[in-house]
Structure 1
Amino acid sequence: MNSAASNVAQPNETVFFQRGNVSVTNARFIVPGQTYAMSNVTSIKHVETPPSKLPGWLLIIGGAVFCFGKIWVLGLLLIAGGAGVLWKAKGKYDVMLQTSSGEVRAFGSTDPGLVREIVMALNEAIVFRG
């Protein structure tokens, strides 16, 4: 079966979420490269990993060192670059599934809203399953 066909719900499936190549039905949770049988999923959780701010702070500190060394232009560029890195830093949001085989990271994104929608759909699918 090709990957496009595997992402289509079967006639006896209820679709709770479908966006791009991610689907949640009462029978399956489909993500790129993997399909999970909902009958094997015992619980779902949403895990947030905050963004790393270390690179931004290192640039700012390096820029401050250059400013103290009277190399103003390079110092200010590094400080501005560090501030930009801090501003654009994004966290990582994961969907974790507890299955009979253990806990697995099933899906990850930098979009917290998408991950919340998927977790809600997975919870609905489990309740629907009974």
Structure 2
Amino acid sequence: MSGAAETTYYTNDRVTVTNARFMVDGETHAISGITSVKLEVKKPNRILPAALIIFELLALTSGKNLATLSIWHWAIILLPGLIWMCFQRTHYTVTLASASGEHRALKSKVKPFVSEVVEAINQAIVRRA
């Protein structure tokens, strides 16, 4: 695009998308080299925390009178598994495809942010032609 002004489709403190470049965390990708972009979703594996909670419940109930257990017994036994499960988050990734393969360019826990970046890159790809 010789002589043409660069149009910005999205910008913030971490990402800038123009009709010529996609810049993220100090890394620059040429829009002309990007063939497609997609948003990937990676959900956390909650099998281990769930197994821990089940194991803790089984250990708690084996051979004990449940009526004699206080709320503190329940909290202390179940808390590690519940905390582990609550702190797991879904990760969203901007994946760029080019002639050389796929590249994960941006990862975040905030879906609207990643969606906006993907949409801006799509606009830049469409309008470069």
TM-score under structure 2 normalisation?
Answer: 0.80
Partner of 2:7: 14
Match of 1:7 in 2: none
**Normalized against structure 1, the TM-score is what?**
0.80
Q: Distance in 2 between matches of 1:12 and 1:92?
A: 35
Count of residue pairs brought into register by the alignment: 120
Larger radius of gyration: 2
**Alignment RMSD:** 2.2
Deviation, 1:40, is: 0.2
- Is the contact made by 2:8 and 2:18 (CA closer than 8 Å) also made in structure 1? yes
In structure 2, the residue matched to 1:99 is: 98
- Whose RCO is larger (CA < 8 A, sep 6+)? 2
Q: Identify the residue that residue 116 of structure 2 maps to in structure 1.
A: 117
1:42 aligns to what?
35
Identity of aligned residues (%): 34
Specify every segment of 5 or more residues in structure 2 that has no aligned partner in the other structure, as ranges. none
What are the residue-to-residue correspondences of 1:24-43 with 2, within 5 Å?
Answer: 24-43=17-36
How far 1:62 moved relative to its partner? 3.2
In terms of mean alpha carbon deviation, does 55-64 or 33-42 score higher?
55-64
Give, as a single letter, the amino acid of the residue that structure 1 aligns with 2:34.
V
Q: Does the C-alpha gap of structure 1 residues 34 and 74 become closer, same or farther in structure 2, counting only changes over 3 Å?
A: farther
Runs of 4+ in 1 over 3 A off after TM superposition: 72-76
